[in-house]
Amino acid sequence: MDNTLLTALIAAGSACIGALIPSLFSYLGKRKEYETDKKAKLEEIRRKVYNEYIDALQAMINAGNRDNYLSLQACTNKILLFAGPRLSSLVNQHYNDIVQRTLQGKPLTLEEHTRYQTDIFNAMREELGVSTEKLEKVSMVRAGF
């Protein structure tokens, strides 16, 4: 093979690699930026949805009327969409128990609500990275005013 041709091939290969490397690093950087942005947006959505759920749960506890049950149902559905598996399972189980027990005329006891609420709040805190310290007891008892 002619030295000129070999030199040209090596130069062409080097140019291709030289152009490819910055493109590769740019792609990897953009991908990491996208993933970071995606996580931040999901966390923002979760915070909003979790706050809505807590408000709906408190409203249902304070006044267990049809509108408050429907609001809790809508918030539960949002949790099921955006939360991780553990929190989704806890919230779904709590909602199903609330509805079934209410239909049976045997509403959940304060202790049962407290257990669910404590587990749900701890799962929310864990998902949001708020604290590794678990809450021992959360109770959203009916406001009596």
pLDDT at 21: 80
**Domain ranges (residues) in the chain:** 40-128
Mapping DSSP onto H, E and C, the string for the chain reads CCHHHHHHHHHHHHHHHHHHHHHHHHHHHHHHHHHHHHHHHHHHHHHHHHHHHHHHHHHHHHCCCHHHHHHHHHHHHHHHHHCCHHHHHHHHHHHHHHHHHHHCCCCCCHHHHHHHHHHHHHHHHHHHCCCCCCCCCCCCCCCCC
Report percent pLDDT > 90 for the chain: 39
| pTM of structure | 0.73
Structure confidence at residue 84 as a pLDDT band (50, 70, 90): very high
Structure tokens at 112: 């049962």
Residue 47: CB atoms within 10 A of its CB come to 14
Closest CA to 117 of 144, 145, 98: 98
pLDDT score of 105 more than 50: yes
pLDDT score of 24 more than 80: no
pLDDT score of 36 more than 60: yes
